Amino acid sequence: MKRHMSLIGCVITILAMAAPGLGQAGCEFSIAGDWESTSPGQDGPNLYRFGSDGSVTAFSRAANGAELHKLGRATYKLQGLQTARTLEFRPERGTGIFPWGAAKMEITRVDQASFTAVSSGLSTVWVKRDPSRYFVVFAAHRGSPPHKGGPAFSMLIKTSGTGTQAETFGLFYRDDVRIIGPIPDELYRQFTSEPASAEDTLLRLEISSQAFDRAIKIMQNSQQRAREGKLLFPLESYLNIILPLKDIAESLNQCGEDFHLHKLTWLVDDEIGANVPQWELAFQYVKKLRQLNEQRHVTDAKFEQSITSRLVLPLSKN
């Protein structure tokens, strides 16, 4: 009991010292990317490509819906206040006709894939268009008592017409030596399909680009700590993999996504953290997440249909 209470105190202290290193990103609205909306006088939606440099280019689609034709270009200003956001366009001379002209609109509703804006009493819906799809994988092997847990890892996958790439972070063994960091190819390939053994567990979900962006920041922070030898706990501690798994999982529903969590607190009301030894905790945690999110789990067949090419590690930084 004394040892368990010491563990709880250690976890709380480390979490406090690690902030904001392990802190989760906020739910700020980002307009960068491609959006479709119908402007006044237009029969169908145009595509608007917002850059991070404050410029936006409008395109119309050809009759077959595939080819894009440039219409015009503008600068934009997105201002966020506590109670409202405004989006303002200023067309650039000599760049064509920007469909909205000089307009200022109030953004009245925002979610993960769309926003609604009102201008001159006209309400329009803007829908995010993303050619990529995003997945997260949590996988773990139970291990063997009393002191050998795992392997266990998380994997983030981005797939599009140009290929499929991934980043990983986890615990694995090489010649019986425990290693924390990006996992080897042969390990993650074992979990490209449903495990046959009850000693293994897997959860695979499709997530939004926003959830992916939050999770990749946490994973890359963990990778950097491992690379620089700055893990939060001694190498023999399984908390070095349990906490990154926990942080990535908890980032997934931070902005209202439909993901069900088990809160690891290590307190008496935590059925897993308070009752499962460290070496087995990653396995039991991922198993619980699978149970809670069974309906959203991506099956092998659906996953294979979504992947456009062989996985390549690591994920390229755009």
Residue 309 confidence (pLDDT)? 59
Tens digits of per-residue pLDDT, 102-157? Answer: 999 999 888 767 889 998 888 999 998 888 889 999 999 998 887 888 899 999 99
Q: Across the strands, what pairs with 171?
A: 152, 180
CB-based contacts of 106, cutoff 8 Å, min separation 6: 84, 85, 86, 117, 118, 119
Half-sphere exposure of 318 (CA within 13 A, CB side): 6
Q: What is the pTM of this model?
A: 0.76
Across 223-252, average pLDDT: 93
Q: Does 33-129 carry CATH code 3.40.50.880?
A: no
Q: What are the extents of the domains in the chain?
A: 33-129, 132-312
Q: How far is Cα 110 from Cα 117, in angstroms, rounded to an integer?
A: 9
Residue 308 confidence (pLDDT):
62
Half-sphere exposure of 64 (CA within 13 A, CB side): 3
Q: What percent of the chain has pLDDT over 90?
A: 45
Q: Which of 44, 11, 28, 39 is nearest to 239 (CA)?
A: 11
- CA separation for the pair 307, 291 (Å, rounded): 24
- Cis ω before 91 (30° cut-off from 0): no
Whether pLDDT at 55 is above 90: yes
